[in-house]
């Protein structure tokens, strides 16, 4: 087992962390060692809450904010791309999902890099790549050029969440990981909000090409902030050769508890991110009947606001339920069930208060992210980077293929006078609902237990 029962008491200079008889992993259950009674006191130069917020949390949150702007911007600019480039629904799905292609493909390498070199240095380099991709997107004149640029942008933001989770595990005590992760995800929700009405407003004074030049500048500025502001902190040593490090990734990808959660998480993230980053805009126009661009942007803004609230509340809800005896595993499952129900609402009864459905979609879709700290905590601490990036590998591979597939399904029906056929959306969204039911059934039937903490899911 790997666990640390920390409690905090306030000293005159800072926070004091205490731990007694902390079981630690050496390399697996057969190599458990018992640490001597330790006492780690963070005094004098100990980081205060304000220091951690300004120098650790905020820079990584800013990068994640930008990531969600890039994820969601196509849901607003798609009419301009249809007009200027002449793309179809399938093209639009492929273009938007291209963000997730290299995003997914580099995850195994990213996990090793995060564990060996730390989140600060890795994120600085990646954001410079995002800036290059944004610049190329603004210069593009064809679908192929847009896809290459979108791939570069995706590569640049591949560490947006994973680098932050690594930083959180380095700087915050384990019992705060879920809460801080939720607040970090809130920054993504704010980015989703910025990708709605603010982007729509910017297009009244800028071309869509100019917008991407500005975004490239913001990426470079954020990279500089991370380089100059975020301190370094050594984590658990990533021992062994590079091949050994990749073997740990293999151990994660063959773990039973990992695969108990991953199918549901991947499908729900496909539904959530696929719609928030693209399909909400066309759906509101073609199914919801909101032909006015500003009205669509208003609904997208409220949905993004609900997403932001959901990210912020996800950790708080899990903490509150834990206090009344509901485990984190069970509370994440409950939120997954509610989110699947809302997806069914949008698929099968789209005429019933569509704006309310999307706002509920935004809030509930943010909550299943609590599976991520659950998975990280179920492995030894030095696996953290590879657990999160292995999850991303699966999630974003599914998003890449699924978002493109949604566009292909929508394209199976003839276009209408205003856009795409509502029947295509019904079949695509219905398929997402059924896949979520299958993921929930697998989650409930599987009896796999965590590698590091077999008791975590024992009562569920």
* Residuewise pLDDT in 10s, the chain (460 residues): 333 332 333 333 333 333 333 332 333 343 333 333 333 333 346 678 788 888 889 999 999 999 999 988 988 898 899 889 988 888 888 888 888 777 777 877 887 788 788 899 999 999 999 999 999 999 999 999 999 999 999 899 988 888 888 888 888 877 777 778 778 888 888 898 899 889 989 999 999 999 999 999 999 999 999 999 998 876 555 555 667 667 877 888 889 899 999 999 999 999 998 898 889 999 999 999 998 888 998 999 999 899 889 888 887 888 899 899 998 889 999 999 999 999 999 999 999 999 999 999 999 998 887 888 788 888 887 787 678 778 888 888 898 889 889 999 999 999 888 889 999 999 999 999 999 999 999 999 988 887 655 444 433 3
Q: Are 142 and 178 in the same domain? A: yes
Q: Are 8 and 63 in the same domain? A: no
Residue 41: phi and psi, rounded to 5, are -110, 120
Residue appearing with tokens 């820079």? 59
Residue 452 in domain = no
Q: Are 166 and 91 in the same domain? A: yes
407: its two tokens: 């566009």
**Cα–Cα distance, 258 to 446 (Å, whole number):** 11
Supply the pLDDT for residue 14: 35
The string of DSSP letters for 259-319 reads HHHHHHHHHHHHHHHHIIIIIHHHHHHHTS----HHHHHHHHHHHHHHHHHHHHHHHHHHH
Residue 297 in domain = yes
Domain residues for 15? 1-46
Q: Are 162 and 273 in the same domain? A: yes
Q: Are 248 and 145 in the same domain? A: yes
Q: Are 204 and 109 in the same domain? A: yes
Do residues 195 and 162 touch, judged by C-beta distance below 8 A? Answer: no
Torsion angle defined by CA atoms of residues 410, 411, 416 and 419, in that order, rounded to the nearest 10 degrees: 70
Q: Are 91 and 37 in the same domain? A: no
Residue 457 in domain = no
Residue 375 in domain = yes
CATH number at residue 420: 1.20.1250.20
Residue 3 in domain = yes
Residue 318 in domain = yes
Give the number of domains in the chain.
Answer: 2
Quickly count helices (H) and strands (E) in the chain. Answer: 21, 5
Q: Are 295 and 366 in the same domain? A: yes
Residue 286 in domain = yes
Burial of 452 (0-12, 13-18, 19+ CB in 10 A): buried
Closest to 195 in 3D by CA, of 218, 164, 172, 174: 218
Q: Are 29 and 68 in the same domain? A: no
What are residue 126's DSSP bridge partners? none
Residue appearing with tokens 């077999």? 454
Residue 291 in domain = yes
Q: Are 261 and 410 in the same domain? A: yes
What are residue 38's DSSP bridge partners? 19
Distances (CA, A) of 364 to 306, 337, 425: 8, 9, 21
**Cα–Cα distance, 406 to 413 (Å, whole number):** 12
Q: Are 393 and 428 in the same domain? A: yes
**Cα–Cα distance, 250 to 203 (Å, whole number):** 45
Supply the pLDDT for residue 240: 58
Supply the pLDDT for residue 292: 87
The count of other CB atoms within 10 Å of the CB of residue 253 is 17
Supply the pLDDT for residue 25: 30
Q: Are 26 and 168 in the same domain? A: no
The count of other CB atoms within 10 Å of the CB of residue 65 is 23
pTM of the model: 0.72
Final residue of a structural domain among 27, 46, 65? 46
């Amino acid at each position: 087992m790997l666990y640390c029962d920390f409690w905090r008491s306030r000293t005159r200079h800072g926070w004091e962390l205490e731990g007694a008889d902390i079981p630690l992993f050496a390399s697996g259950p057969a190599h458990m060692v018992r640490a001597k009674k330790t006492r780690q006191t963070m005094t004098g130069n100990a980081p205060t809450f304000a220091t951690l917020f300004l120098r650790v949390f905020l820079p990584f949150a800013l990068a994640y904010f930008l990531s969600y702007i890039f994820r969601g911007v196509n849901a607003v600019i798609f009419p301009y791309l249809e007009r200027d480039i002449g793309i179809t629904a399938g093209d639009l799905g492929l273009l938007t999902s291209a963000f997730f292609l290299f995003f997914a493909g580099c995850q195994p390498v990213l996990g090793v890099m995060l564990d060996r070199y730390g989140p600060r240095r890795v994120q600085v380099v990646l954001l410079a790549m995002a800036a290059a991709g944004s610049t190329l997107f603004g210069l593009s004149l064809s679908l192929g050029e847009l896809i290459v640029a979108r791939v570069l942008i995706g590569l640049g933001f591949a560490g947006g969440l994973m680098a932050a989770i690594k930083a959180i595990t380095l700087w915050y005590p384990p019992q705060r990981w879920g809460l801080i992760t939720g607040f970090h995800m809130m920054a993504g929700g704010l980015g989703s909000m910025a990708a709605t009405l603010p982007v729509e407003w910017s297009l009244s004074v800028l071309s869509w090409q100019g917008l991407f030049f500005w975004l490239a500048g913001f990426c470079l500025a954020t990279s500089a902030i991370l380089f100059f502001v975020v301190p370094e902190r050594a984590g658990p040593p990533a021992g062994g050769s590079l091949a050994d490090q990749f073997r740990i990734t293999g151990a994660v990808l063959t773990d039973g508890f990992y695969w108990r959660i991953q199918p549901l998480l991947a499908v729900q993230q496909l539904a959530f991110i696929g719609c928030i980053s693209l399909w909400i805009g066309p759906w509101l126009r073609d199914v919801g009947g909101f032909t006015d661009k500003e009205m669509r942007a208003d609904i997208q803004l409220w949905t993004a606001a609900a997403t932001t609230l959901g990210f912020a509340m996800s950790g708080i809800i899990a903490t509150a339920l834990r206090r009344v005896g509901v485990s984190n595993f069970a509370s994440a499952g409950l939120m997954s069930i509610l989110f699947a129900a809302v997806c069914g609402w949008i698929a099968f009864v789209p005429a019933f208060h569509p704006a309310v459905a999307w706002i509920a979609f935004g809030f509930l879709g943010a909550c299943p992210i609590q599976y991520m700290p659950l998975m990280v905590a179920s492995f030894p601490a030095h696996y953290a980077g590879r657990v999160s990036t292995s999850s991303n590998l699966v999630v974003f591979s599914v998003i890449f293929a699924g978002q493109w597939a949604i566009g292909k399904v929508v394209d199976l029906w003839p276009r209408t006078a205003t856009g795409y056929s509502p029947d295509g959306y019904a079949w695509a969204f219905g398929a997402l609902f059924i896949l979520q039911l299958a993921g929930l059934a697998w989650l409930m039937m599987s009896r796999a237990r965590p590698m590091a903490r077999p008791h975590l899911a024992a009562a569920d």
